[in-house]
Every structure is written in C-alpha cells, then in structure tokens.
Amino acid sequence: GENVEQHPSTLSVQEGDSAVIKCTYSDSASNYFPWYKQELGKGPQLIIDIRSNVGEKKDQRIAVTLNKTAKHFSLHITETQPEDSAVYFCAACSEGNNNDMRFGAGTRLTVKP
C-alpha cells in the first residue's frame, strides 16, 4: 500500500520568510496530492491540491510542485505570516482505490513575528 513520508516534522521561520515542506510517496499509481492545514483545535482544511497531469500549481502565497519521476511533492509558502502557523499534512491517493488517502505525519510550522 501507499506510504507517505513528510519532512521536516517541525519548521520555524521568521515572518516574511518562505517555508518549504516536502513529501515522498511510494505508490507510483498515486495521482492526487492534497495539502491540509490544521489549526489548533480544528479539523484539517484543504489549502491546495495537485493532480499528476501538472507539475506545479499556485494559489496566491501557496504553491505545490510535483515530481512524478522522483515521487515527491512539496508545499511552498512565501511571505509567511503568523497566521500561517499550524500543522500541515500532505496526502496521496490513486484513482480506483476508493479514495483511500494516506497522510504524511505532519509538519508543525511556526512563524515568528
């Protein structure tokens, strides 16, 4: 089955700096890669996702890149703000697999003002 690894487990940056979180996956059939943000006491919220037919997707300060050959994908947050502080999860899923999504272990991002 799919195995998703996520690094780093914790990340601390200064406000305004960029943050990068990386994930690798094992199942070459995976073709859907969402990123979720979980704030304290809340459920995970989708912030961006990418499908395997594209290599990059951007939404304002957030971007995701995908390298299918190397089986890794990354989340990039530019101009970080204190409200970006949260736990971020990557996930991977393949078509025809009943939407069985496998999550990374999470990255706790702290943005210092």
Residues that bind another protein (CB under 8 A): 31-32, 34, 36, 38, 41-46, 49, 51, 87, 89, 93-103, 105-106, 108
| CB-based contact 107:10 (threshold 8 Å) | yes
Rg (CA), the chain: 14
* CA nearest neighbour of 5 among 87, 107, 111: 107
Which lies closer to another protein via its Cβ, residue 52 or residue 65?
A: 52
Q: In whole angstroms, how close is the CB of 8 to another protein at the nearest point? A: 14
Whichever of 59 and 95 has its CB closer to another protein, that residue is 95
Q: Measured between alpha carbons, how far is 82 from 52 in angstroms, rounded to an integer? A: 31
Q: Rounded to the nearest 5 degrees, what angle is found at the Cα of 33, between the Cα atoms of 28 and 38?
A: 140
Residues across the chain: 113
Smallest gap from Cβ 93 to another protein, in A, equals 5
Residue with Cβ nearer another protein (51 or 58)? 51
Min CB(14)–another protein separation in Å = 24
